[in-house]
Structure 1
Amino acid sequence: MEVERVQAIASLSAAANDIPAEFVRPEHEQPGFTTYRGPAPEIPVVDLAGEADRGALATRVAAAAREWGIFQVVNHGIPAEVVRELQRVGKAFFELPPEEKEKYASKPGSTEGYGTKLQKDLEGKKAWVDFLFHNIWPPATINYAFWPKIPPEYRKANEEYRKYLGILVKKILIMLSKGLGLEDHVLMQSVGGQNLEYLLKINYYPPCPRPDLALGVVSHTDMSAITILVPNDVPGLQVFKDDQWFDVKHIPNAIIVHIGDQIEILSNGFYKSVLHRTTVNKEKARMSWPVFCSPPPEMEIGPLPQLVSDETPTKYKTKMYKDYAYCKLNKLPQ
C-alpha cells in the first residue's frame, strides 16, 4: 500500500491554504492556544570551553539536567564544517524525487528507514513530519541499506559526525556522573559503554499553511539515555516547564542535549527526562538531526544502588531496555 508523505501533502495544502483534518490537533494541543506568549525563561546554555574548573562545569550541567532536563552546549568540540556537511547531505536526501526516497522506506517491525508515522495516535491524528532513521553506532547495529546513496557523500558525512559525537557524549555522561557524586565512568558504563547505541533521525517538517493548528512531533519524552540534537535555523522546539510550553531559542552553532528516560531512571529521578514537542513554520521547512543514545536492548536499567537509601527509596522498576521500549512504543503501563 502506497503511503502518502507529508512532504507531498504540504504541496497540496499550500495551494489550498489549509491542512487536512487529521493534522489538526485537539485544541488543548494546538500551538496557537498553548504556546506561552509572555517573557519566556531561556533553557540553560553551557560553554564547554569556558569553564576551567571541571567540577564547576559538571555542577552547571547537573543543575540544567535536574531543573530543565535539557540544555544547549557551545564550544562542544564538533567542528562547524562537520555539522554543516551533516545538514547538507540530510537536506539533499529530502530534496530527492519521491521514488528515490521510497527506496529507503521503513519495513514492518523495523525502526530504521524513511517514513511518516512512528507511533499510533489514540485520537487518530497525524504529525506534520517525514523522517529518516538509521543506526550509526556500534558497527554491529549498522544496516547500510537504510543509508542513502544519494548524495554520494552521505555516508562519509555521517561517519565523520559520529566520530566527534562519541567524544561529546562521553564528556556529557562524565559530567552527569560527577553531578550525582559518582565516579566518572559510572553512567557511561551503566548505559552500555562502547556498546551504547546511536540511532540517528532526520526530521523534515515541510512548510505548513496552519502552524497554529498542527504539530511536527507531539509532546513526549525520549526513551533514550540522552539525545543529542542538531537543529537548522528555523525555530520549532518547545519545552514544557512550570505548566507552560516555551519556545527554545535558536543559538547558532549550539547543540541541544535532552535528558532521556533511562538517565532519569538510573539517577532515581534526580535528573528529569524533558517533555518536549515540535511546532512547524508557515514559510520555511524546519529540519533537525537528533541522535538517540540508548542502552543495548538486553541491558537492564534501574536506579543505581548508590542512589537508593531509606531516605531516597527506589522510584522505578528495573527492566531490560527492550522491554521498556516495547511498553513505551505501544503505550502500555510501565
Structure 2
Amino acid sequence: MSPAMALNEQRSKDDTAEEKSGYEKGVKHLCEKGHIRSVPKKYILPVADRPTKRVEDSNALNQNLQLPIIDFAELLGPNRPQVLQSLANACQQYGFFQLVNHCISDDVIRSMIDVSGRFFDLPLEERVKYMTTDMGAPVRCGTSFSQTKDKVLCWRDFLKFLCHPLPDFLPHWPVSPVDFRKVVGTYAEETRHLFLAVMEAILESLGIMEKEEEENVMKEFEKGSQMMVANFYPPCPEPELTLGMPPHSDYGFLTLLLQDEVEGLQVQYQDKWVTVQPIPNAFVVNVGDHLEIYSNGKYKSVLHRVMVNEVKSRVSVASLHSLPFNCTVKPSPKLVDDEANPKRYMDTDFATFLAYVSSHEPNKKDFLESRKLH
C-alpha cells in the first residue's frame, strides 16, 4: 500500500471514530482519544485557503511586520499628544497594536492564562456541562465557530462567557477549576477598566474633543458589553491543512487579546499574512467592526487568523468590548460630512449581528460589508 493510500485509510478511520463521538465535543476530545496521525476530513480547508508551510515564506513575512507598540504609561503622562498620534496611526494603518506598561499585574495575567489552560484540562464530563449551540447563552463551551453550520471546522476549542455587569453573570460561570471565578473575575474587571482608558484615548485621537459627546459615549461604554473568550489550540499533526481560526474581523469596538508564548496569531497587512510576535505580558489590541462603523471608516477592523503547530498547544484569552447589547452603533456625527465624508455605514445593533451570524457561515468581513452604504 502506498503512503498516500495508507494516510487516506487512516484518515477515514479517524473520521469514523470522530463521527461516533460527535464533532461537538471538540478538538481536544479528539486528541484525548488517542494519537491522531492525520487531520480528519472535516477540518481540512480548500487548497486556496490553507496556510503556507514553507519556512522561507514564514520568515519573510515575520520580518515585514512590527506591530506598533503603545506605551500605556506614556499615554497617561506629558507625552500624551505624541502617543495619541501613534495610536491614530496604528488604528488607521494596521488596525492592531501591542499595549505595554498597562498596569495590570504580571500575576493577574499569568493566573488568567493558567486557569484557562486548566479549564480545558478538565475531564470532558466537566466541559460538556457548558456545551450548547445557543449563541445567546451567558456561558458557552464549544469548538470552531458553529459546528452545526461550518463546512470546515476550526482546530480550536473555546469557552465564551459574558462578563459585565459582573454580579449578573458570575453565578453562571464554571465552578471548576475552583479558583476560576475569582481569577477570571479579577481579570475581567481590570481589562474592562483598561478598555475604558484606551477607548477614551481613541475618541480623542479621532478628534472627538467636545466634552459633552465624549462623556455621553463613555457613559455608554461604562454600561457596555464585555465578552471573554478563552481559546485552546491543541497540537495538530498536519498544520498546513487547517487553521485554529479562519480569517475574520472582530465584532465590537476593541478586542484586548492575551496570548501565551506560542506564536499563532497572524494579521493581514498589505495583502500578506504576517505573524504577531508575542511580547510577554502585553496585550494585542485590535479595532473591531463597531469602531470602524463609529469612525465612519477612518479606523479599520482588519482580518486576522490563527495558525496551529505540530508540537505545542496554545492558549489565548480575548476580551471583546462594545456598547450595551441594546444600543445602536452608527457613525459619529462629528465624523460625517454630507459632501466631504458622507455616512458610509448603516446603523446596526447586536440583534442584527446575531441574526446574521446565526444564518451565515462566518467569512472574513462579510457582516461589516453587509452594513456598508454603497
Same fold, TM-score > 0.5, yes or no:
yes
Q: Which residue of 2 aligns with 1:285?
A: 313
Contact preservation (8 Å) 2:250, 2:288: yes
The one of 47, 58, 64 aligned to 1:40: 64
- Give me the whole-angstrom Cα distance separating, in 1, the residues matched to 2:295 and 2:95: 12
**Match status 1:249 vs 2:277:** yes
The one of 148, 151, 173 aligned to 2:174: 148
Number of residue pairs aligned between Structure 1 and Structure 2: 332
Q: 1:149-194 CA deviation, whole Å, 9 max, x = no partner?
A: 1221111111111222122111111111111111378568447322
Alignment of 1:236-315 (within 5 A): 236-309=264-337, 310-315=339-344
Contact preservation (8 Å) 1:135, 1:141: no
Between 148-157 and 118-127, report the one with greater CA deviation.
118-127
Q: Which residue of 1 aligns with 2:49?
A: 29
Between 103-112 and 230-239, report the one with greater CA deviation.
103-112
Against the structure 1 CA distance between its residues 185 and 141, is the aligned structure 2 distance closer, same or farther, given a 3 Å change threshold?
farther
Secondary structure, aligned partner of 1:212: helix
Between 303-312 and 109-118, report the one with greater CA deviation.
109-118
Alignment of 1:112-151 (within 5 A): 112-119=139-146, 124-139=151-166, 141-142=168-169, 144-145=171-172, 147-151=173-177
Q: Which runs of 5+ in 1 are unaligned?
A: none
State the identity %: 30
**Match status 1:178 vs 2:204:** yes
Secondary structure, aligned partner of 1:204: strand
| Larger helix proportion of the pair | 2
CA-CA distance at 1:124 after TM superposition: 1.3
Q: Which residue of 1 aligns with 2:16?
A: none
**Match status 1:106 vs 2:138:** no
Q: Which residue of 1 aligns with 2:30?
A: 9
**Match status 1:87 vs 2:87:** no
TM-score norm. by structure 1 comes to 0.92
Q: Which amino acid in structure 1 is aligned with residue 319 of structure 2?
A: V
The one of 224, 238, 241 aligned to 1:196: 224
CA-CA distance at 1:117 after TM superposition: 3.2
Contact preservation (8 Å) 1:237, 1:247: yes
- Give me the whole-angstrom Cα distance separating, in 2, the residues matched to 1:76 and 1:159: 18
CA-CA distance at 1:108 after TM superposition: 2.8
Between 234-243 and 52-61, report the one with greater CA deviation.
52-61
- Which structure ranks higher in relative contact order (CA pairs < 8 Å, sequence separation ≥ 6)? 1
Q: Which runs of 5+ in 2 are unaligned?
A: 1-20, 361-366
CA-CA distance at 1:45 after TM superposition: 1.1
Q: 1:74-127 CA deviation, whole Å, 9 max, x = no partner?
A: 101111100111111111111111111112222534353211132379771110
Secondary structure, aligned partner of 1:32: coil
TM-score norm. by structure 2 comes to 0.82
Contact preservation (8 Å) 1:114, 1:132: yes
**Match status 1:62 vs 2:82:** no
- Give me the whole-angstrom Cα distance separating, in 2, the residues matched to 1:72 and 1:185: 30
Contact preservation (8 Å) 1:226, 1:257: yes
**Match status 1:327 vs 2:356:** yes
Secondary structure, aligned partner of 1:31: coil
Contact preservation (8 Å) 1:176, 1:187: no
- Give me the whole-angstrom Cα distance separating, in 2, the residues matched to 1:238 and 1:76: 23
